[in-house]
Amino acid sequence: MKRGCVQFVGAGPGDPELLTLKAARMIGEAEVVVYDRLVSPEILERVPRGATRLYVGKMPGCHAVPQEQINALLADLARAGKRVVRLKGGDPFVFGRGSEEALHLAHHGIPFEVVPGITSASGCGAAFGIPLTHRGLATGVRYVTGHCREDDELDLDWRGLADPQTTLVVYMGLANLPIICARLIGAGLPAGTPAAAIAEGTTPRQRICHATVETIAERIAAEALESPVLIVIGAVVAFGAELAEMQAASDAPERHHAPRLVVA
C-alpha cells in the first residue's frame, strides 16, 4: 500500500501571489486538501479539480469539526495512502493549531512536513504600509491571540503588552476587543495610542479602519468590519497612515490585486 503523508501548508494572508513556490506546488499536487475558514477563495482556486476538498473551519463558538476529529481525520487519510495538504491561513504554526495536529501525527508515527506561510501580521501590515518595527517607534513586536481555549477568560501579560515601544498584533480578537483595549489602558498604555483594524488583508476585499486603542472597538462596529479582522496597536500605525497619504499624493500606482479601501 502506498504510504501517505500530511503536508502542513501555510496559505498566507489571502493573496495567492504571496504563496511560497513550495506551497503552490504542494497544493497543485494534493490528493486531499483539508482547509480552514481563513483560506481565501483565491487560494482554493489552485486546488486541483480532481482533489478532494474537506472543510474543517472554525468560528468563535462554532466549530464545524472538533479538533480531535480533525486530528483523527488527518491520520486516517494518511494511513489510506493519500497525499494530504492541511491548508491553513497565514502560517500553520502561528495561532493555527498546526503544531497540535503535527504532534498527534508524530505520536502515531505518521510522516508530515511543514511549509511556512506569510503570517497575517506581516502580510496585512505590509498591504497598508504599516511596519511592525521602525527605528524610534517600535523596537519589537508581540503577537497575541484574543480568543481563549474553551472560551476561558483572557489571561495575558497586560503590563508587558502595554509597552509604547512595542507593536501589538492581536489575532482573533474581534469578540474580546473591548476587554483587551480596556485592560491595556488599565495597564498603562496611553488611550490615544494609534490602532488599526484590517479586514481580509491582501485580498481585493481588504479594508482598514484607523482609530486609537480607546476607540477602535467602536469604529469597527460602526464600519461593520467582519472577521477575519487583524488588530494592530502602536505608533507604527500612524506611520503607516502617513506613508499611505504620501504615496497617494505622489500618484504612485496602486497594487492591481488589492485596492486600498481606507476608513479614516
Q: Which residues are catalytic?
A: 36, 58
Collapsed DSSP state (helix, strand, coil) of residue 25: helix
Rg (the chain; Cα; Å): 19
The single residue listed with the C-alpha cell 496559505 is 11
Residue 86 is given by DSSP the state E
Distances (CA, A) of 61 to 34, 162, 242: 21, 28, 38
**CB distance 58 to 38 below 8 Å:** no
Listed in sequence order, the DSSP H helices in the chain are 21-29, 41-44, 67-79, 98-107, 120-127, 158-161, 177-186, 216-223, 235-249
Alpha-carbon gap, residue 262 to 264, rounded angstroms: 6
